[in-house]
Structure 1
């Protein structure tokens, strides 16, 4: 599987384009490129997750597998009282995410390189992810289960997974670890799952 968005391929030709995303009446700017997830625009799953998520007083948020920043940048832009950290393994995505942080004038967001939680040190009130399904079940499960160790007690992990791409198995493994697992929304085969520590 060459040139996948969950890999780091710096040899791909670059064709950066700006994307304008309007969410809750606010314009948010992103930059997409070859070799990143959903380069043509904001994907349905991320949009559904953003429409569904409830921060419940969270002040420190981590977006795992952030891509060019759709979820993390949006949460930071709409909630100036929170601090959002974003991680990705794809250096091109990280560069695009940094451009989005700058373009949107955010002082409460940062992005850094990490293969899942490899370089994550802190604990968070909320961890969010639109996991890279094409990377395989083991990677997806390492994101959603690994979140547990980086959540404060009572913190929650939110993710979006399509039913046909493993939502049932994800819920099953989550229920073995987390105190409470809920499906907060379903639409067009996508499920928004919240797991509370």
Structure 2
């Protein structure tokens, strides 16, 4: 496996800068990207499906949100833009991705509410009202499960997680696995080979 894969902590290859343009909920975004981060050439299909099919927060949404595996920040930037009363954490192991996410937040005047962090730097007492993720399935099933087992328990009691998973990379088996752990899992969309899952706690 290349040391410069997008889930490397510190890509060694020189960063070739670029931009990615996309539209969500009637807003246009132009974000800075660079080689060594996930989907540096365009908004990846899974993220596009997630942002189109999941229930985006609104101006009435409050609380604290998490973009898990944020890359250069497209999900985090959309969440913070759509829900200006929230705090959004953008978390990634890749230092280059975090630098880009922070720069994109600054460019969109979101830096005060969009907090970019490495996983170990998120305060332990923070709960999340929403978790959004296009998780890195290529880290393998064990790594993916460990990541979700770490972060999903940090959902607030009435919180919800929105996940997008490639059907051919375990989308249905992940649904089954999460349900087996006691989460309430609903498939809210299936498009272009991706499953969009809504995950919540069981109610008493």
Cα distance between partner residues in 1 of 2:136 and 2:34? 17
Contact 2:5 2:11 in 1 (8 A): no
Match of 2:48 in 1: 47
Contact 2:185 2:200 in 1 (8 A): yes
Superposition CA RMSD, Å: 1.6
Q: Which moved more, 1:38-47 or 1:105-114?
A: 105-114
- Please report how far the alpha carbon of residue 21 of structure 1 lies from its aligned counterpart in structure 2 after TM superposition: 2.0
Match of 1:28 in 2: 29
Report SS of the residue matched to 1:45: helix
Match of 2:86 among 75, 79, 82: 82
- Please report how far the alpha carbon of residue 58 of structure 1 lies from its aligned counterpart in structure 2 after TM superposition: 5.2
Match of 1:70 among 74, 83, 89: 74
How many residue pairs match? The answer is 194
Cα distance between partner residues in 1 of 2:167 and 2:62? 28
Offset from partner CA, 1:45-101 (integer Å, 9 cap, x none): 101111122248452101111000011111111221221111101000000001100
Cα distance between partner residues in 2 of 1:7 and 1:24? 31
Structure 2 regions of 5+ residues with no counterpart? none
Match of 1:109 in 2: 114
Q: Which moved more, 1:144-153 or 1:50-59?
A: 50-59
Q: Which ranges of 4 or more aligned residues in structure 1 deviate by more than 4 Å?
A: none
Contact 2:69 2:136 in 1 (8 A): yes
Cα distance between partner residues in 2 of 1:125 and 1:42? 25
Structure 1 regions of 5+ residues with no counterpart? none
Contact 1:178 1:196 in 2 (8 A): no
Match of 2:136 among 108, 132, 135: 132
Cα distance between partner residues in 2 of 1:145 and 1:10? 26
Cα distance between partner residues in 1 of 2:50 and 2:8? 23
